[in-house]
């Protein structure tokens, strides 16, 4: 079967090939379609070869391929699509090869591809586009979003789209709020250097860059303020980092998401949620709170030890009901301030010191420096009330740390 040639056609009216069956290629290279509204309709058409609208192809109206089936590739490389609203519409179209929108394509209106299925690659290298809607698109190959001649209003909508690999560069990313990624699914993400003019001219993919978590997080933050709070893009990115064995980046992506969620809350809840996200990212950070608690407790109970102020007494009693002293005390487990604090601060840790020593209810606070009367107030730190309050505070902090750590671990490993 011979191709249908419409090369260099100048047409003032609509070309309507709706529901047509074209047994080979449809070639419109260099054609100029001047009709307003729909200039070329291929809705429901079956093209058993390639669709070629490249090489100085110009269309002032809309091209529609709704539910069209193209067994080969569709090429619009270097074309000028000047329709002001929808310039190219491929709703529910099926393309067996590649969709080429590269080669300095200029598109004044929207490119619509909702529910479109493409077996090959979708190539935008060097394209000048305003809005690309890929809602629910299924792309078996790579999406090449490189060297885009973007405008402030350039918009990329990938909601519910499924692609094998996204290849992009930072210079092609849309402006803040113009990226839509909710439920966008990909197998691989590859960031490239910004293409040179030579790369664009020859349609060459620029050199790829190492995976950078911060750059990809910045990419997600290009969504609108409302949409960036949707969890799916963050979970997807975290899982992608996990698949590359970059667990640190995976945790960091979730931390950034939790921080964004917290930013919408009132200040106290915001700080609490941010702190929790920080802990969820790396649970071992809880040690930064436990160690100061242990050190402060150690200092407090060191000052209360029997060798200094004598504010700590044995829980065991002699035959007269008094705390052990003298020879009996020498055979008794020695008071160890750090172990005593550790047992109270860390639930379930029992080393046999906490249940053998207790603050003395009859103890009156003693100054650590009796020669200096102006420091007598320091005696309060080994008084019974202060030591008892300190012990209970350490216990409560210990259970609080354990609860927060448990919640962070549960949230982190939740499927």
Distance of CA 303 to CAs 42, 215, 336, 366, Å? 89, 52, 11, 10
pLDDT digits (tens, 9 = 90+) for 86-111: 999 999 999 999 999 998 899 999 99
Cβ neighbour number for residue 224 with a 10 Å cutoff: 12
The confidence score (pLDDT) of residue 282 equals 64
User: Residue 233: pLDDT band by 50, 70, 90 thresholds?
Assistant: very high
User: Residue 277: pLDDT band by 50, 70, 90 thresholds?
Assistant: low
The confidence score (pLDDT) of residue 388 equals 86
Is 3's pLDDT higher than 70?
yes
Give percent of the chain with pLDDT exceeding 70.
86
User: What predicted TM-score, i.e. pTM, was given to this entire model?
Assistant: 0.69
Q: How far apart are CA 287 and CA 210, in angstroms?
A: 32
Average pLDDT, whole number, for the chain? 86
Residue 2: Cβ-neighbour burial (10 angstroms; 0-12, 13-18, 19+): exposed
The H-or-E segment that residue 121 falls in is: none
* DSSP summary character for residue 302: H
């Amino acid at each position: 079967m011979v191709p249908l040639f419409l090369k260099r056609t100048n047409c003032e009216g609509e070309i309507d090939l709706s529901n047509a069956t074209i047994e080979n290629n449809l070639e419109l290279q260099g054609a100029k379609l001047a009709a307003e509204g729909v200039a070329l309709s291929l809705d429901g058409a079956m093209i058993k070869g390639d669709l070629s609208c490249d090489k100085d192809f110009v269309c002032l109206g809309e091209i529609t391929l709704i539910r069209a089936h193209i067994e080969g590739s569709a090429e619009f490389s270097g074309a000028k699509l000047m329709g002001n609203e929808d310039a190219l519409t491929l709703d529910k179209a099926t393309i067996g090869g590649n969709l080429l929108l590269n080669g300095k394509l200029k598109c004044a209106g929207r490119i619509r591809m909702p529910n479109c299925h493409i077996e090959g690659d979708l190539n935008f290298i060097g394209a000048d586009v305003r809005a690309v809607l890929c809602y629910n698109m299924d792309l078996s190959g790579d999406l090449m979003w490189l060297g885009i001649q973007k405008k402030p209003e350039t918009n990329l909508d990938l909601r519910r789209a499924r692609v094998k690999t996204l290849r992009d560069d930072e210079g092609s990313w849309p402006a803040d709020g113009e990226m839509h990624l909710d439920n966008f699914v990909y197998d691989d993400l590859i960031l490239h250097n910004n293409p040179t003019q030579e790369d664009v001219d020859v349609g060459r993919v620029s050199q790829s860059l190492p995976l950078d978590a911060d750059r990809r997080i910045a990419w997600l933050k290009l969504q609108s303020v409302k949409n960036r709070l949707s969890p799916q893009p963050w979970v997807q990115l975290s899982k992608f980092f996990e698949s590359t064995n970059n667990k640190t980046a995976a945790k960091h992506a979730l931390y950034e998401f939790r921080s964004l969620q917290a930013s919408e809350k009132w200040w106290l809840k915001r700080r609490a949620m941010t702190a929790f996200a920080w802990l969820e990212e790396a649970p071992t950070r809880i040690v930064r709170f436990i160690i100061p608690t242990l050190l402060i407790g150690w200092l407090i109970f060191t000052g209360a030890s029997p060798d200094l102020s004598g504010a700590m007494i044995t829980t065991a009693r002699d035959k007269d009901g008094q705390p052990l002293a003298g020879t009996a005390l020498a055979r008794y487990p020695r008071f160890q301030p750090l172990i005593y604090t550790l047992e109270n601060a860390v639930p379930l840790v029992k080393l046999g010191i906490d249940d053998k020593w207790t603050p003395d209810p009859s103890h009156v606070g003693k100054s650590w420096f009796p020669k200096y009367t102006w420091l007598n107030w320091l005696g309060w730190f080994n008084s019974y009330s202060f030591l008892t309050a300190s012990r209970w505070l350490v216990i409560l902090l210990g259970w609080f740390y354990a609860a927060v750590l448990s919640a962070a671990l549960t949230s982190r490993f939740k499927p």
